[in-house]
Amino acid sequence: MTLDPDISDFTPTEVATPNAVAPGRPLHSMTLYGIREEQPGPRWQALHDATRDAYRRWYLSEGAAARPDLSTCRRMLTDHMPELVPTWERLVQLAGGDEITARLLTLWDPPRFLPGCSQATLGGRVPLLIRNYDYSPDLFERVVYSSAFTGRRVLGTGDCLWGLLDGMNDAGLAVSLAFGGRPGSSPGFGIPIVVRYLLEVAASLDDVRSVLRRIPVNMSYNLTAIDGSGEGLTAFVAPDSAPEFSLARAATNHRGTVPEYPERAQSLRSVERQRLLLSLLDSDPDMTRLTSAFLRPPIHSTEYGRAFGTLYTAVYRPNDGVVDYLWPQDSWRRRFDSVDATKTVILRES
Structural domain includes residue 6? no
Answer yes or no: are the C-beta atoms of 42 and 1 closer than 8 Å. yes
pLDDT over threshold 80, residue 133: yes
pLDDT over threshold 70, residue 14: no
pLDDT over threshold 70, residue 1: no
Cis peptide before 298 (omega within 30 of 0): yes
Closest by CA position to 89, among listed 76, 111, 106, 107: 106
pLDDT of residue 10: 34
- Using one digit for the tens of pLDDT, what is the confidence trace for 62-76? 999 999 999 999 999
Structural domain includes residue 265? yes
Domain that holds residue 317: 28-348
- Using one digit for the tens of pLDDT, what is the confidence trace for 229-240? 999 999 999 999
- If one counts the domains in the chain, the total is 1
Burial class (CB in 10 A: 0-12, 13-18, 19+), 291: middle
- CATH code for position 113: 3.60.60.10
Can you say how many angstroms the Cα of residue 186 is from the centroid of all Cα atoms in its chain?
20
Burial class (CB in 10 A: 0-12, 13-18, 19+), 123: middle
What's the whole-model pTM score?
0.92
Structural domain includes residue 318? yes
pLDDT over threshold 90, residue 337: yes
Structural domain includes residue 8? no
Question: Over the range 149-184, which residues count as b (16 or more CB within 10 Å of their CB) and which as e?
Answer: bbebbbbbbbbbbbbbbbbbbbbbbbbbbbbbbbee
pLDDT of residue 25: 52
- Using one digit for the tens of pLDDT, what is the confidence trace for 76-122? 999 999 999 999 999 999 999 999 999 999 999 999 888 889 999 99
DSSP class of 296: S
Among residues of the chain, what percentage have pLDDT more than 70?
92
Residues 6+ positions from 49 with CB-CB distance below 8 Å: none
Structural domain includes residue 12? no
Alpha-carbon distance values, 70 to 56, 65, 67, 185, 189 (Å): 15, 12, 9, 20, 14
| Beta strands at 26-36 and 143-147: parallel, antiparallel or unpaired | parallel
Structural domain includes residue 319? yes
Structural domain includes residue 312? yes
Structural domain includes residue 110? yes
